[in-house]
Amino acid sequence: MRLQKYLSQCGVSSRRAAEKMIRGGQVLVNGKTASIGQTIDSGKDVVKVKGAAVRPSRTNTYIMLNKPRGYICSCSDEQGSSIFDLVKVKERVYPVGRLDKDSEGLVILTNDGELANRLTHPRYECEKEYEVIVDAPLSRKQLRELEGGVLLDGEMTRPCRIRPLSDKKFLVVLSEGKKRQIRRMFKEKGRVVIRLKRIRIKRLELRRLRPGEWERLTSRELQKLL
């Protein structure tokens, strides 16, 4: 089994985040620094992350959180308050599809690596919907140009859907997740995003949880993510 897949099954992180840990030298296999692409025998090899041995989770945990602004989606609190100051469970879980510190709304936390991969890997084109408020109106032409794609990091973003709710408020549906993508897209049109809230991932919508509240997903809600 590839090491990054094993780490996701252990509830350490998503596969993509696991690759960063491996590159950063934070993962050891049988006492030796691991490498990208390495395979392991889960029945024999000892895998440690930051000095602690990890093993696959026996049961999967699924949590939805209404993340408030001012919290980071990280286990570390070096950059400020973490969502793990809000979600305290005995299971080891990690966020799927992160939101930046200034954004709010729906965040999924789980130790199910396969689900995390399906929700984050670009090839699955997982839809996510956001409420966006900007500092000034945009013309129809500007909105069409945003929907068609914007050049970010040398690549065009995938087409998206934008529905105006008012002259400064929009619903934006993306099928990819580049870093701070929505903020950067609107910045290309000279606009500043002053509020960004994720309200849907695939068919799962944010329940009437107040900011900072969380609940475990029901089996029916989980099906909306599959």
- Dist CA 122 CA 103 (whole Å): 21
- Evaluated on CA atoms 73, 77, 80, 83, the torsion sign reads positive
- Distance from CA of residue 61 to its chain's centroid? 16
- Contacts of 78 by beta carbon, 8 Å cutoff, 6+ apart: none
Owner of token pair 């914007």: 150
Q: Hey, what are 36's tokens?
A: 């990208």
Catalytic site positions:
100
**Pairs from 99-102 (Cβ < 8 Å, separation ≥ 24):** 99/67, 99/73, 99/196, 99/198, 100/72, 100/180, 100/183, 101/69, 101/70, 101/71, 101/72, 102/69, 102/70, 102/196
Q: Hey, what are 124's tokens?
A: 């699955």
- Dist CA 201 CA 97 (whole Å): 9
- Evaluated on CA atoms 215, 74, 53, 55, the torsion sign reads positive
Burial string for 164-191 (b: 16+ CB within 10 Å, else e) reads eeeebebebebeebbebbbbebbeebeb
